[in-house]
Chains A and B, each alone.
Chain A
C-alpha cells in the first residue's frame, strides 16, 4: 500500500531539522507512517463520502431530508444545546475550586472527574437504567408522578452529560494550575469583587482552553452512541439521535442513506478538527 505517497519531496526538506538519519531510513519511516495513516484514517473517511453519493445526489438529499432523519438531527442538536453549556459550567466551577484552593480530598475529586473516560459507554447507559427503569431506584416515584426519563429525551441528555462531563474540566485544570492566582489576587487587592475578577481577569486568560474543551465536549455529545443506545429505546422520530438513526438505516441495508447521514456527521468531525487546530494555534500565539 506504499505506492500512493509521493516521496520526491523528502530530500528537499531535510535542511530544517538536521535529521541525522540517512535519506533511505527517513523515506522508509515516513512512508510506513503515512501508509498506516492512509489505511486507518483517510480511507474510512473517503469511503463514507463515496458510499454516500454512490446512488446519486437525489437519494442523498432524500436521505438527509427524510422526516426521521430531520427529527434525529433536531434531537441531537437539542441534546448538545442542553449538555455542553452545563458541562462547561461544571468544568469552570471544578477548575476554580481545584486550582485556586488547597483542600483535603482534592486528588480524589480529580480522579472522580476522570472516571467517565475510563468507563464503557454501555455501562454509562446501564447506570441510568438502574436508576430510572420501572424496577430501578426511582422507578415507583417516576411512575406515580408520570415522569418519563428512560426511553425519552431526559435519559438521553443524562447519559450524554455523563460521558462528556470531564472534557472541559480536564482542559481547564492544568491550564489554570499553570497560570496560578497572582492576577486574581492583584485584582481583588485593587478592589474588584469576585465576579468582576472572574469575568475580567480569569475568563480572558482561560478562553482558549475553555473553547478547546467545549469543542471536544461537543464532538463527543454529537456522536455518543453506546450510552445513548442503552437509554433511548430507539423510538423513530422521537428518541433517535443521529448515530442511532445511522445504525437503524445500516441494519435495514439502506447503506446509501446510512452513509448520507454519516457524511453529515463526518463533515462536522472535520470542522471540529479544523476548529481545534485554529484554537491550538491561537492559544500558542497568546501564550
Chain B
C-alpha cells in the first residue's frame, strides 16, 4: 500500500486502526454534537440571536458568572500558591494526608459538594451563623462553591515547579545580598508565574461552566444569583431550545478562546522548564 504523504514512516503497526477508531469516536461523540450548537444557532436570524444573547437577564448572568469565576480563581491563585509552597518546602505531621486531600474537589461529586457547602453557609449553618452577612443564596456563596471546585488546579500546577526549583538560585540570590522579599519577588515569582497563571486559567474555565455545586448555594434568582449555565438549563426546561442554544454558543466560543489561551500558557510553562 502506498504510504500517505502526511504521515512519516514508522515500523510500528496499528496506525490505521488506532487513528481510525480515535477519529470516528471523536467525530461521533464530540464534533457532531458540538456542531449542532452552531448549526442550530445559524438557523436563527442575526437579529434574533443578538436579542437573545443580550437580553438583560442573560447579560446579568454573564456578569455574575464571570465575576464569581474570576473572584474564585483569584482566591485560588493566592491560597493555591501558599498551599503548594507549604506542602513542598515545609514538613509537618499529616502532610501526606493533607496533600492527598487537596484533590477532593476532583473526586467528590459536585452535587454532594453543593449541598454540603449550602448547609455550612446557610444562615443557621455551622459557618453561616458566625457571619454577620448572608453567604448562601448570594454571589458570595457562588464564589465559595467555585473556589472549592477550582482549588486543586493552582496547587497541582505550582507544586512540581516548586519541587524542581533550583535551590541554588535562591541561595545565590540571598548570598548576593537580596532580602527575603526581594528574593521572593525577583526570583521565585517569575519562576512560578506561568504555572500559577495556567492554574488560574484552568480554575477560571472550570468555574465558568460549573453547575452542580453552584445551583444549591446560589438561590437562582433571575438578575441576581442566576449563573449562565443555570439560565441555559431554565430555558431548556421551558422548551426554549433556540434561546438555550444561542446562549450556549456564546459560552462555547468563550471556552474555545480560554482553551487556546491555556494551551499557550502550558507551552510557555514547558519552555520555562526546559530552561531551568
Q: Which residues of A contact B (CB under 8 A)?
A: 6, 9-10, 13-14, 16-17, 19-21, 26, 29-30, 32-34, 36-37, 39-45, 47-48, 51, 90, 93-94, 96-98, 100-105, 109, 111-123, 126-131, 133, 135-137, 158, 161-162, 165, 181, 184-185, 188-189, 193-194, 198, 216, 219, 222-226, 229-230, 242-244, 246-247, 250, 255, 258-259, 262, 265-266, 269-270, 272-274, 276-277
A274 touching B100 in the complex, CB below 8 Å, given contacts A29-B85, A109-B22, A130-B241: yes
- The answer to whether A198 touches B14 (Cβ under 8 A) is yes
**B81-137 at interface with A (beta carbon < 8 Å):** 82-83, 85-87, 89-93, 96, 98, 100-113, 115-117, 119-120, 126-127
**B147-191 at interface with A (beta carbon < 8 Å):** 147-148, 151, 174, 180
Q: What separation, in Å, do the CA atoms of A114 and B117 have in the docked complex? A: 29
From A112, A229, A230, give the contact of B31 (CB < 8 A): A112
- The answer to whether A113 touches B241 (Cβ under 8 A) is no
Chain A: which residue is nearest B109 at the CB level?
A223
Q: With a CB–CB cut-off of 8 A, which chain B residues contact A246?
A: 109, 111-112, 115
Q: With a CB–CB cut-off of 8 A, which chain A residues contact B127?
A: 39, 43
Chain B: which residue is nearest A271 at the CB level?
B107
Q: What separation, in Å, do the CA atoms of A274 and B10 have in the docked complex? A: 40
**B213-230 at interface with A (beta carbon < 8 Å):** 216, 228-230
Distance (Å) between the CB of A192 and the closest chain B CB?
Answer: 11
Q: What separation, in Å, do the CA atoms of A181 and B102 have in the docked complex? A: 34
Q: What separation, in Å, do the CA atoms of A272 and B60 have in the docked complex? A: 38
Q: With a CB–CB cut-off of 8 A, which chain B residues contact A113?
A: 26
- The answer to whether A262 touches B116 (Cβ under 8 A) is yes
- The answer to whether A37 touches B30 (Cβ under 8 A) is no
Q: Is B42 an interface residue (CB 8 A)?
A: no
- The answer to whether A48 touches B148 (Cβ under 8 A) is no
Q: With a CB–CB cut-off of 8 A, which chain B residues contact A103?
A: 6-8, 15, 19
Q: Is B236 an interface residue (CB 8 A)?
A: yes
Chain A: which residue is nearest B260 at the CB level?
A111
- The answer to whether A19 touches B100 (Cβ under 8 A) is no
Q: What separation, in Å, do the CA atoms of A249 and B166 have in the docked complex? A: 53
From B8, B90, B110, give the contact of A17 (CB < 8 A): B90
Q: How many residue-residue contacts, CB under 8 A, span A and B?
A: 292
A225 touching B18 in the complex, CB below 8 Å, given contacts A33-B82, A37-B102, A103-B7: no
Q: Is B32 an interface residue (CB 8 A)?
A: yes
Q: Which residues of B contact A (CB under 8 A)?
A: 6-8, 10-15, 17-19, 21-23, 25-26, 29-34, 36-37, 40, 79, 82-83, 85-87, 89-93, 96, 98, 100-113, 115-117, 119-120, 126-127, 144, 147-148, 151, 174, 180, 205-206, 208-212, 216, 228-230, 232-233, 236, 241, 244-245, 248, 251-252, 255-256, 258-259, 262-263
- The answer to whether B22 touches A97 (Cβ under 8 A) is yes
- The answer to whether B90 touches A30 (Cβ under 8 A) is yes
Chain A: which residue is nearest B27 at the CB level?
A112
- The answer to whether B259 touches A115 (Cβ under 8 A) is yes
Q: What separation, in Å, do the CA atoms of A29 and B92 have in the docked complex? A: 12
Distance (Å) between the CB of B60 and the closest chain A CB?
Answer: 17
- The answer to whether A250 touches B252 (Cβ under 8 A) is no
Q: With a CB–CB cut-off of 8 A, which chain B residues contact A277?
A: 96, 100
- The answer to whether A223 touches B174 (Cβ under 8 A) is no
- The answer to whether B12 touches A185 (Cβ under 8 A) is yes
Distance (Å) between the CB of B34 and the closest chain A CB?
Answer: 6
- The answer to whether B103 touches A273 (Cβ under 8 A) is yes
- The answer to whether A120 touches B209 (Cβ under 8 A) is yes
Q: With a CB–CB cut-off of 8 A, which chain A residues contact B18?
A: 93-94, 96-97, 100
Q: With a CB–CB cut-off of 8 A, which chain A residues contact B120?
A: 43-44, 47
Residue from A10, A21, A101, A277 with most neighbouring chain B CB atoms (10 Å): A101
Q: With a CB–CB cut-off of 8 A, which chain A residues contact B126?
A: 43, 47
Q: With a CB–CB cut-off of 8 A, which chain B residues contact A128?
A: 33
Cross-chain pairs A/B with CB under 8 angstroms, 28 sampled: A17-B89, A30-B86, A33-B85, A36-B82, A37-B83, A44-B148, A45-B116, A47-B119, A94-B25, A94-B26, A100-B15, A102-B10, A112-B30, A118-B258, A120-B208, A120-B228, A121-B210, A121-B229, A129-B236, A129-B241, A165-B25, A188-B13, A194-B13, A219-B107, A223-B112, A244-B111, A258-B115, A266-B108
